[in-house]
Structure 1
Amino acid sequence: MIAAIGQLPPLIASHVLLAGAAMLLALLIGLPLGLFAARRPRIGGAILAAAGLIQTIPGLALLALFYPVLLWLSSFAGGRIPALGFLPALLALALYALLPILRNVVAGLGGIDPAVLQAADGVGMTPGQKLHLVELPLAAPVAMAGIRTAAVWTIGAATLSTTVGYPSLGNPIFSGLQTENWSLVLAGCLGAAGLAIAADGILALIEHGLSRRRRAPLFLGVALLLIGFAAALAPAFAPRERTVIVGAKNFSEQFILARLIGARLEAAGYRVSYREGLGSAVAFRALEQGDVDVYVDYAGTLWTGAMARTDMIPRDRMLAEMARWMAEGPKTAILGPLGFENAYALAMRPGAGIASLADLAVRAPALSLGADLEFLDRPEWRAIRDAYGLRFREQRAYNPTFMYRALASGQADVISAFSSDGRIAADRLVVLADPRAAMPRYDALLLLSPARARDARFRAALRPLIGAIGVEAMRQANYLVDRDAGKATPEQAARRLETELAKPRP
């Protein structure tokens, strides 16, 4: 738990920066828009309905929707608009915070006693004076209640920014869920809850000052907000060498390999940080844009996803075509294969009497398929489904760790396993043969961003990893993290893997 807490300070700073900026943007939009909606009820109803519609979209989906929008806008701006990281998270969270702000501003202004407004008109106040001296002070307590609600929502939803490549307190939560390291999950949750409670308390102080018209609590609350935001901004202005960003997807093997890569780069003198929990398409796009400097991806994923290829060709030709495609298009580079393959494969508990996908097709209508979060939307699933005519009674998506749990508990009969996962051997799972070769190869490849592809020192630091990691070594490292008892952290598994790589080969 102590180690988990030690990871929090930089994540808290980036979390506060994101949530604070999103709330500021929401206030800049929501306060004048709320005033306009209160003045024109017919149009105001449509504005509130639109804000309500946005609120019905799940936070994760709203974040994901900004990715293609910003990508499209970036194509008109010469690629200068970042589609990942801070900007999409900022925009999504600001939109998500609008509804409580708008609704309470409208309610606060609408709840003022008409007699008070008539009295203000009677003493000859101008509209501006009436707004400043009468309406805003009377509506402020109700409006502040909406702002407090929006702040708590925003701080909680900011944990989802991890999925679009912005570091936050979601990092330990997502990493801990995958590796079943509950101290990490608890640390992330407590950190986010603590921030939400602190923000609500400070805003309550401001609300007290406004409602009682007392300057001391009002100024103290504003000062505390400014101090907190300034502290979160401070790391961004600290002089330092450019940090190398090591990317990782959302499963144990990726966390381990990211730490292995990071250790090599730190030994070579680089400053390293990690951007984890990325989806496949997001990870490669982040590499292409330079938001990630290096990460590990898999040949089949790139072939069917980024390259949109459906044909199956020999391994050497596949790697050569990938390297040529990267050089001509995204300008990224393959430093080389790490030496093992992590292929998708359907797996079952032993004793079912099914040995191949062809056998499975006969009995699939009575069985349940458990898949990882991406598999059912990937071209690989469509390829084997159509090649073998697979039709299951039920299909469910799980976090990869919970997918194996579902198989063990009988909630799933078949799962989309990974060939380098140590749980295959530990649980004595049967990996079903693919006699029609519907699945592509999945060599683990070390990928470099356009800038790092031309960096000889960077390439030299990582070149010893090429061809050095066998599938058994990777399975053992994965199992250290994924096993039930005495589990290791990704950092510990990476160090163990590093030790294995240092041993002389027979």
Structure 2
Amino acid sequence: MKEQLALLPGYLVAHLQLTLVALTLGVGLSVPLGIALSRSRRLEAPVLAVASIIQTIPSLALLAFMVPALAALGLKSIGFAPAIVGLFLYSVLPILRNTVAGLAAVDPALREAARGVGMTPGEQLRRVELPLAMPVIVAGIRTSAVWTVGTATLSTPVGAPSLGNYIFSGLQTRNYTAVLVGCIAAAALALLLDTLVRALEAGIRRRSRALVGTSLAALGALGVIAAGSFVASAAAARSEGDRISIGAKTFTEQYILSRILAGAIARETGLPTEAVDSLGSTVAFDALRNGQIDGYVEYTGTLWTTIMKRSEIPGDRAALLREVDDYLRAEHGIVVAAALGFENTYTIAVRRADATRLALRTVGDLAPHLGAMSLGGDYEIFQRPEWRSLQRAYGLAPREQRSMDPSLMYEAIRARQVDAITAFSTDGRLVSYDLQALDDDRHAIPPYDAIVLVSARTAREHGDVVTALRGLAGSIDADRMRRMNAAVDEQGDTPATVAERFLRERLP
């Protein structure tokens, strides 16, 4: 708990920054647009329809879409920018709708009276309509504020630090203390903003200048805290010079490896480093390609199928690695600094008791039984080329396919919620949960060697970083990686602790 609380100020302020910036942009667009729509009823329905459609897009999908969209415009495509754009779009509907509704509810007799005393349209808006509609408008802001706080927890996979870091990493590493801290902090922030905006709404309704002033002062203080932290972080980054950013995807092994890479670089070069956790798979590669992170660990099979779009599989792991290396260097200038020495491939796993009862040793042995079984997989496997390759090679047709967070697959099979899962070969829970990984005897899945990638910019400007990472070549075999994963997932160690232990042994 102490370690989690030490991270809280940074994550909380980052979350506050995302929320306030997105909410400010949402108010800045929605209120003027709502006023314009109240003057042009023909546009009201289509504009509200567009805002409603945006609201129906799953928030994680909307945030993830911002990454390639901003990259296509030549803008920074991970971190603060895509999160802000996505959250801003998500904040619009309640404010816009309430602005339109609040202005429409103004008594026509009052408008007529305003015109009768000679008010111009602008004066009528400022002195009559907006004051009367303001409580409804502020109620929309209140709803938007709570929504934005909740949605901001999903900014983590696009590289924006937030309280979602607690939740994503905590679920993957089974650190439920971290999940609890993240959830409580997000709920507290939502309640705080809701209380302040509600007080503002009440002050407007009661025409209490004191209550309005106090509410605005408190909201302003939060803004000052967020802005001050942003300026301080920017100043610190400038004073430190280059900071080497190492990405990590959303599972335990990646959290450990990112810290091993960062630690090796810091020890060998003295450069400051940071881990950028819980990135989506394609988000991590795009960030590396665009120079927004400096390195991360990828798997040759993922590059082969998802990035290179290849379906045929070379005869051996070394040949595939050579082709991946040549492709990355030629197409993107990305350097393969090291192959770490282990392969973490997809595998189908069943409970060992079921494997014994049904005489299951290979995926081919499982195929005749799978029609009566439920198969669990992470949330991307059933859309990946590897799954289609398995289906072609073995004719796999499970009775039910269930997509879920990778951390929950193992719990699901242990609790008999599913009969088989698409597991990862270096996951320590294969052993601790007494699962049998089945052999891919027809080689439907390509090799998945863990390799260290370095961006073209970093390789060009920091040759010492590449040299430091090359020192990790062949340093981790599958059994060691499995033990390190188990130390986090089963024994409660943090990824940083496991990485530091490895580095002390490797680089004393």
Q: Deviations over 1:446-475 (max 9, x none)?
A: 111122222122123333222111211111
Which of 366, 383, 391 is residue 397 of structure 2 equivalent to?
Answer: 391
Hey, what's the Cα distance between the residues in 1 that align with 2:118 and 2:233? Answer: 50
- Answer yes or no: is the 8 Å Cα contact 1:246–1:292 preserved in 2: yes
Hey, what's the Cα distance between the residues in 1 that align with 2:204 and 2:274? Answer: 42
Amino acid of the structure 2 residue aligned with 1:25: L
Deviation at 1:194, TM superposition (A): 2.0
CA pair 470-502 structure 1, distance change in 2 beyond 3 A: farther
Aligned twin of 1:259: 259
Aligned twin of 1:370: 376
Hey, what's the Cα distance between the residues in 1 that align with 2:501 and 2:403? Answer: 31
- Answer yes or no: is the 8 Å Cα contact 2:66–2:77 preserved in 1: yes
Aligned twin of 1:77: none
Q: How large is the RMSD of aligned CA atoms in angstroms?
A: 1.8
Relative to structure 2, which stretch is displaced further, 59-68 or 117-126? 59-68
Other structure's SS at 2:371 match? helix
Hey, what's the Cα distance between the residues in 1 that align with 2:392 and 2:232? Answer: 52
Amino acid of the structure 2 residue aligned with 1:435: D
Which of 98, 101, 104 is residue 110 of structure 1 equivalent to?
Answer: 104
Hey, what's the Cα distance between the residues in 1 that align with 2:407 and 2:506? Answer: 26
Which of 465, 468, 481 is residue 474 of structure 1 equivalent to?
Answer: 481
Hey, what's the Cα distance between the residues in 2 that align with 1:433 and 1:463? Answer: 31
Aligned twin of 1:291: 292
Relative to structure 2, which stretch is displaced further, 136-145 or 425-434? 425-434
Hey, what's the Cα distance between the residues in 2 that align with 1:195 and 1:269? Answer: 37
Q: How many residues align?
A: 495
Aligned twin of 1:437: 443
What are the residue-to-residue correspondences of 1:15-414 with 2, within 5 Å? 15-71=15-71, 73-74=72-73, 80-232=74-226, 233-239=230-236, 240-241=239-240, 242-267=242-267, 268-313=269-314, 314-350=316-352, 351=356, 352-414=358-420
Which of 492, 496, 503 is residue 501 of structure 2 equivalent to?
Answer: 496
Indicate the percent of aligned positions where both proteins have the same amino acid: 44
Deviation at 1:205, TM superposition (A): 3.6
Aligned twin of 2:454: 448
Other structure's SS at 1:329 match? helix
Deviation at 1:182, TM superposition (A): 1.1
Amino acid of the structure 2 residue aligned with 1:57: I
Deviation at 1:143, TM superposition (A): 0.5
Unpaired stretches in structure 2, ≥5 consecutive residues: none
Amino acid of the structure 2 residue aligned with 1:328: A
Deviation at 1:176, TM superposition (A): 0.5
- Answer yes or no: is the 8 Å Cα contact 1:469–1:501 preserved in 2: no
Amino acid of the structure 2 residue aligned with 1:117: R
CA pair 249-417 structure 1, distance change in 2 beyond 3 A: same
- Answer yes or no: is the 8 Å Cα contact 1:339–1:467 preserved in 2: yes
CA pair 93-204 structure 1, distance change in 2 beyond 3 A: same
Q: Deviations over 1:153-198 (max 9, x none)?
A: 1011011011111111101111001111111111111221222122
Q: Deviations over 1:119-149 (max 9, x none)?
A: 1111110001111111111111110010011
- Answer yes or no: is the 8 Å Cα contact 2:248–2:279 preserved in 1: yes
Unpaired stretches in structure 1, ≥5 consecutive residues: 75-79
Other structure's SS at 1:277 match? coil
How does the TM-score come out when normalised to structure 1?
0.93
- Answer yes or no: is the 8 Å Cα contact 2:378–2:409 preserved in 1: yes
Q: Deviations over 1:11-64 (max 9, x none)?
A: 222222221111121112101111122222332122222222222222112222
Deviation at 1:86, TM superposition (A): 2.1
- Answer yes or no: is the 8 Å Cα contact 1:387–1:438 preserved in 2: yes
Other structure's SS at 1:338 match? strand
Hey, what's the Cα distance between the residues in 2 that align with 1:323 and 1:297? Answer: 12
- Answer yes or no: is the 8 Å Cα contact 2:21–2:84 preserved in 1: yes
Other structure's SS at 1:310 match? coil
Amino acid of the structure 2 residue aligned with 1:330: H
Amino acid of the structure 1 residue aligned with 2:7: Q
Hey, what's the Cα distance between the residues in 1 that align with 2:482 and 2:383? Answer: 26
Hey, what's the Cα distance between the residues in 1 that align with 2:62 and 2:256? Answer: 29
Q: Deviations over 1:407-454 (max 9, x none)?
A: 112222111111111122233322212222111111110111122222
- Answer yes or no: is the 8 Å Cα contact 2:338–2:469 preserved in 1: no
Hey, what's the Cα distance between the residues in 1 that align with 2:479 and 2:365? Answer: 28
Aligned twin of 1:420: 426
Amino acid of the structure 1 residue aligned with 2:312: D
Hey, what's the Cα distance between the residues in 1 that align with 2:282 and 2:437? Answer: 27
Hey, what's the Cα distance between the residues in 2 that align with 1:272 and 1:210? Answer: 49
Deviation at 1:237, TM superposition (A): 3.3
Relative to structure 2, which stretch is displaced further, 125-134 or 235-244? 235-244
Deviation at 1:392, TM superposition (A): 0.7
Hey, what's the Cα distance between the residues in 1 that align with 2:233 and 2:214? Answer: 25
Hey, what's the Cα distance between the residues in 2 that align with 1:142 and 1:243? Answer: 47
Other structure's SS at 1:435 match? coil
- Answer yes or no: is the 8 Å Cα contact 1:474–1:497 preserved in 2: no
Hey, what's the Cα distance between the residues in 2 that align with 1:237 and 1:257? Answer: 27
CA pair 82-96 structure 1, distance change in 2 beyond 3 A: same
Other structure's SS at 2:332 match? coil
- Answer yes or no: is the 8 Å Cα contact 1:477–1:496 preserved in 2: no
- Answer yes or no: is the 8 Å Cα contact 2:168–2:278 preserved in 1: yes
Aligned twin of 1:458: 465
Relative to structure 2, which stretch is displaced further, 126-135 or 320-329? 320-329
Amino acid of the structure 2 residue aligned with 1:491: A
Amino acid of the structure 2 residue aligned with 1:110: A
- Answer yes or no: is the 8 Å Cα contact 1:137–1:211 preserved in 2: no
